[in-house]
């Protein structure tokens, strides 16, 4: 389907990738916005050789909790659009 590139804002973004029948989750931070951020994401994800990638949430609504250590989140109260539990 592709992305319009306008949804890329500076900050954290979540991605779900598939490679050889296995799912991988990526939490990536970008410094730029729009097309520049899209290009930055492509460069960061390309080395992993994913067959398919789905962009989940990003920007101020992104929060990732790994064993109690939280990354992301802009402090704004926003609805949760994606939730993955491992």
Question: Any idea what the Cα angle at residue 25 is, between residues 71 and 40, rounded to 5°?
Answer: 75
Q: What is the pLDDT of residues 11-50, one digit of tens each?
A: 888 899 999 999 999 988 888 877 778 888 889 999 999 9
Instruction: Please give the model's pTM, rounded to 2 decimal places.
Output: 0.75
Dist CA 75 CA 29 (whole Å): 16
Kindly state the DSSP code that residue 28 receives in the 8-state scheme.
Answer: E
Lowest mean pLDDT among 6-10, 58-62, 81-85: 81-85
Q: What is the pLDDT of residues 48-78, one digit of tens each?
A: 999 999 888 777 777 787 788 887 766 666 6
Do the beta carbons of residue 25 and residue 66 sit within 8 Å? no
């Amino acid at each position: 389907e592709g992305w319009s590139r306008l949804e890329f804002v500076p900050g954290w973004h979540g991605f779900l990738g598939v490679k050889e029948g296995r799912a991988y989750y990526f939490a990536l931070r970008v410094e730029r916005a729009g097309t520049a951020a899209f290009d930055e994401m492509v460069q960061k994800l390309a080395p992993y050789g994913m067959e398919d990638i789905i962009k989940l949430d990003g920007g101020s609504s992104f929060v990732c909790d790994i064993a109690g250590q939280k990354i992301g989140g802009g402090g704004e109260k926003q609805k949760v659009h994606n939730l993955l539990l491992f």
